[in-house]
A and B are shown apart, each in its own frame.
Chain A
């Protein structure tokens, strides 16, 4: 594997670590199985790419894309909290609704960003190669997001959201409006996914309607891989684990796709992902099974 593919994997891994942090918030902290992600990721990309192509400043576009993701999460939360639609179903409804919405936003199946400015090439210093600078900038973005999240979830409001996911009945008895907590958590989760989509579109030369397919599985894969590499109940370690998981996962994918002797091609990506997640889910249980047998 060349340095170029290595840095490429790191770059995509870092972007997907934002998705993974979002998935961690919904699946783990709120215990809300949220598939909105498959729609809010391309939503972020569509909003950012369309705005940049229309001449808006890339920073503004990225912020608007992040907010669009937050709104998508808010609506999924609202379907569940106010309309009492089952959580998983609410998120599926939002996901398919977003497919149409994303097409409407872009006006066509894809919006290329070839010569347009992006947050990356605007900030890129003279004399540094773009494939080096992009992961470098992303490391800062991801670390900043991680620290902000760690801080937020230690505040009174953040604690209320965690309590809602852990024991909603207790949270209500302590005066937490759990409906609002779910809405806030879902908005935060999908805002991160929207941000990831916006950054993805700006590194990959544009947004595409199908760029969201399987996002949730990649996000979950990152969370699960991270948790098995760095098992911890402490939040700041858990968020770190999720980021590491996203990067490690991406390296494995790059390794699998770049090893000629395995004979895999780019279109096998989703199959490899599904296999990896299955293995990550089954191995801990098998391990427990075996050690249990030894003990008996």
Chain B
């Protein structure tokens, strides 16, 4: 379970370009739930995700995962509990290393790394079996550099890597945004399958409202560093993209009203 409470973060405080990225952001994701997160540019989606992964330190608030306080832990220490797939297909894998070496790295996520060989025969068979489920023929290219793969292939492998080791939370950061529509659909389908198979607690940030409603059990909309919409169950099933758009406009509209009041 992820429990983020009253997260606050201001970039460039005290300067003309001061930005309040998170303004009392709170979100709880129960164990096993798949949540999609939407919001306009600058709503705080990525900042929130980076705060949870540890790449971004917060000014205030707490982040707990299964009751463990993570707020002050560095990224590598949180990796024990948190798996992640990046938006940029190049970011989630090491291009200089082979497919099997990348997977071996992920296999040891959060564990003590010793002096035994990273890729052992038994492990290689496990990787081969995992890769064959993709249907991309990668199971025959274990010792190829991962830099030789296409973006979509690398993203698919990244997803497999995220599930090689148990995690308490899976973070997906617009992980289909950089792919062509067909590959994006494939990677999304794979995501749903892997999340279901491993019963992963998942938070997926996305730009696509369609995606946000189609996958997962709950959708959260962020605006100005806060949760402004939180729907699940039957209420969510009745929603369509245009409903979301309307709500989007409403949130923005209210704000304009606020400003109008202030200026008036």
**Assuming A163-B105, A174-B109, is B97 touching A154 (CB within 8 A)?**
no
User: Is the pair A162, B96 in contact by a Cβ cutoff of 8 Å?
Assistant: yes
User: Is the pair B116, A159 in contact by a Cβ cutoff of 8 Å?
Assistant: no
Contact stretch, chosen from B74-82, B190-198, B231-239: B74-82
- C-beta contact mask, B92-108 vs A, less than 8 Å → 1, else 0? 11111100010011101
User: Is the pair A175, B116 in contact by a Cβ cutoff of 8 Å?
Assistant: no
CA–CA, A170 and B147, complex, Å: 14
CA–CA, A157 and B94, complex, Å: 15
Q: Mostly helix, strand, loop or mixed at chain A's interface?
A: helix
User: Is the pair A154, B118 in contact by a Cβ cutoff of 8 Å?
Assistant: yes
* Closest B residue, CB atoms, query A165: B96
User: Is the pair B91, A160 in contact by a Cβ cutoff of 8 Å?
Assistant: no
User: Is the pair A155, B105 in contact by a Cβ cutoff of 8 Å?
Assistant: no
* Closest B residue, CB atoms, query A175: B79
Those of A141-199 within 8 Å (CB) of chain B: 152, 154-160, 162-163, 165-167, 169-178
**Assuming A159-B97, A160-B105, is B116 touching A170 (CB within 8 A)?**
no
CA–CA, A156 and B97, complex, Å: 13
User: Is the pair B75, A173 in contact by a Cβ cutoff of 8 Å?
Assistant: yes
Q: Does A287 sit within 8 A of B, measured CB to CB?
A: no
Residue of A158, A162, A172 near B76 (CB, 8 A) is: A172
User: Is the pair B115, A157 in contact by a Cβ cutoff of 8 Å?
Assistant: yes
- C-beta contact mask, B40-56 vs A, less than 8 Å → 1, else 0? 00000000000001010
User: Is the pair B110, A159 in contact by a Cβ cutoff of 8 Å?
Assistant: no
Residue of B76, B97, B114 near A155 (CB, 8 A) is: B114
CA–CA, A176 and B106, complex, Å: 10
CA–CA, A233 and B148, complex, Å: 12
Q: Does B223 sit within 8 A of A, measured CB to CB?
A: no
Residue of B113, B117, B118 near A176 (CB, 8 A) is: B113
Shortest beta-carbon distance from A173 to chain B in Å: 5
Q: Does B8 sit within 8 A of A, measured CB to CB?
A: no
User: Is the pair A171, B94 in contact by a Cβ cutoff of 8 Å?
Assistant: yes
Shortest beta-carbon distance from A92 to chain B in Å: 27
User: Is the pair A163, B97 in contact by a Cβ cutoff of 8 Å?
Assistant: yes
Residues of A within 8 A of B218 (CB): none
Residues of A within 8 A of B80 (CB): 175
Interface centre among A157, A166, A174 (most CB of B within 10 A): A174
Residue of A154, A156, A169 near B113 (CB, 8 A) is: A156
Residues of B within 8 A of A170 (CB): 86, 91-94
How extensive is the interface on chain A, given as a class? 20 to 34
Those of A62-108 within 8 Å (CB) of chain B: none
* Closest A residue, CB atoms, query B106: A174
User: Is the pair B105, A159 in contact by a Cβ cutoff of 8 Å?
Assistant: yes
CA–CA, A139 and B90, complex, Å: 40
Residues of A within 8 A of B126 (CB): none
Q: Does B119 sit within 8 A of A, measured CB to CB?
A: yes
* Closest A residue, CB atoms, query B83: A173
* Closest B residue, CB atoms, query A167: B94
Residue of B91, B105, B113, B145 near A233 (CB, 8 A) is: B145
User: Is the pair A159, B101 in contact by a Cβ cutoff of 8 Å?
Assistant: yes
Those of A19-60 within 8 Å (CB) of chain B: none
CA–CA, A174 and B97, complex, Å: 14
User: Is the pair B96, A233 in contact by a Cβ cutoff of 8 Å?
Assistant: yes
Residues of A within 8 A of B84 (CB): 173
User: Is the pair B115, A169 in contact by a Cβ cutoff of 8 Å?
Assistant: no
Shortest beta-carbon distance from A188 to chain B in Å: 13
User: Is the pair B97, A166 in contact by a Cβ cutoff of 8 Å?
Assistant: yes
Shortest beta-carbon distance from B8 to chain A in Å: 24
Residues of B within 8 A of A159 (CB): 97, 101, 104-105, 113, 118
Shortest beta-carbon distance from A220 to chain B in Å: 19
Residues of A within 8 A of B86 (CB): 169-170, 173
User: Is the pair A173, B93 in contact by a Cβ cutoff of 8 Å?
Assistant: no
CA–CA, A169 and B116, complex, Å: 24
Shortest beta-carbon distance from B223 to chain A in Å: 27
Residues of B within 8 A of A162 (CB): 94, 96-97, 101
Those of B8-58 within 8 Å (CB) of chain A: 53, 55
Those of A217-242 within 8 Å (CB) of chain B: 233
Q: Does B111 sit within 8 A of A, measured CB to CB?
A: yes
Shortest beta-carbon distance from B146 to chain A in Å: 10
Q: Which 8 A-B pairs have the closest CB atoms?
A: A175-B79, A156-B113, A166-B94, A172-B75, A166-B96, A175-B110, A159-B118, A167-B94
Residue pairs across A and B with Cβ atoms less than 8 A apart, 27 shown, are: A155-B115, A156-B113, A156-B118, A157-B115, A159-B101, A159-B118, A160-B105, A160-B113, A162-B94, A162-B96, A162-B97, A163-B94, A163-B97, A163-B105, A167-B93, A167-B95, A170-B93, A171-B76, A173-B84, A174-B108, A175-B76, A176-B76, A176-B105, A177-B74, A177-B77, A178-B76, A233-B96
